[in-house]
Amino acid sequence: MEARGVVNALTIDVEDYYHVSALAAAIPRRRWSQMERRVVANTHHLLDLLDGRGVRATFFCLGIVAEEQPALIREIHDRGHEVACHGYAHELVYRQTPETFGDEVARAKGVLEEIIGAPVLGYRAASYSITRRSLWALDVLHEAGFAYDSSIFPIYHDRYGIPDFPRFPHRVRGTDGDGLVEFPLTTARLLGRNLPVAGGGYLRLLPAALTRWGVAQVNRREGMPAILYLHPWEIDPGQPRQRVGWLTGIRHYHNLDRMEGRLVGLLERFRFDTAARVLGLQEDDHG
């Protein structure tokens, strides 16, 4: 077990394979109703895996999934995990107006809160799409009553990222104790640059040892918590394959069969809890 004094945040972005932004050309939204649903079985598998190791996580849930599968959202909550908001239909923030984004966020937050009967504190944008051109979204989230956001990735990427953004949790909106806190996706410093070690596709595509090294660096050398993510579809190598370009194919499908094992390796090496508890925004009510 590494860095025993530091507790990291484990997060699951609850969406199905056909919701993914990179597959939008292959599976446009008008076809979603025709697609095989796999998110319930995959999420149940993750819940069982986490329960078996006594780990609690934050599940950032799409509003459209919550409307179709309210029992799944209720089960996540009842098993002691945190239910947070992933927007309504996986729309990229920087392709919306502030008004449209505000309406979407309010709809998703309302659906989730009605299902679990408790406040939803956290938000994560589809594909980390709060970038320089959509920083106005932080004001919208603050006004909507969220306590924290985890949408900004301090890296260079063709779809997202703010490379020089502060790497660790800090208050971004509001001056009092109730202001919005940003929990950026985790990076480690290597050769003067930010290296993404936050899980997800990076855990699948890069050597697993690199992610373990990066989280250990953040915990031990910097004394800070990491926040890691994955999607239910990332432990599902049997999902229907789509005809996509080579880059999208690598990003989405490579090492799906190894993801569960790599996740278990992280769970065995590091300590994890929900994002809200790591940030001190929610009391530990499970001893």
Match 């937050």 to its residue by tokens: 109
Dist. CA 213–CA 177, nearest whole Å: 34
Residue 286 in any domain: the answer is no
Give residue 149's identity as a one-letter amino acid code.
D
User: What pLDDT shows up at residue 287?
Assistant: 39
Residue 287 in any domain: the answer is no
H-helix segments, 90-223: 98-116, 136-143, 200-205, 208-216
Residue 11 in any domain: the answer is yes
- Going by pLDDT thresholds of 50, 70 and 90, the confidence category of residue 5 is confident
pLDDT over threshold 70, residue 254 = yes
Q: Note the pTM of the prediction, 2 decimals.
A: 0.95
Into how many domains does the chain fold?
1
Say if residues 283 and 80 touch (Cβ distance below 8 Å).
no
User: Mean pLDDT, the chain, as a whole number?
Assistant: 94
Give the residue numbers spanning the domain of 59: 7-278
Give residue 146's identity as a one-letter amino acid code.
F
The secondary structure element, H or E, covering residue 76 is helix 70-78
**pLDDT by residue (tens digit) across 165-176?**
999 999 998 756
**pLDDT by residue (tens digit) across 77-89?**
999 999 999 999 9
Residue 129 in any domain: the answer is yes
- Non-local CB neighbours of 238 within 8 Å, separated by 6+ positions: none
**pLDDT by residue (tens digit) across 270-283?**
999 999 999 999 87
Three-state SS string across 188-215, please? EEECCEEEECCEHHHHHHCCHHHHHHHH
Residue 285 in any domain: the answer is no
Residue 224 in any domain: the answer is yes
CATH number for 113: 3.20.20.370
- Show the tokens assigned to 182: 């940003």
Residue 143 in any domain: the answer is yes
Residue 212 in any domain: the answer is yes
User: What pLDDT shows up at residue 255?
Assistant: 93
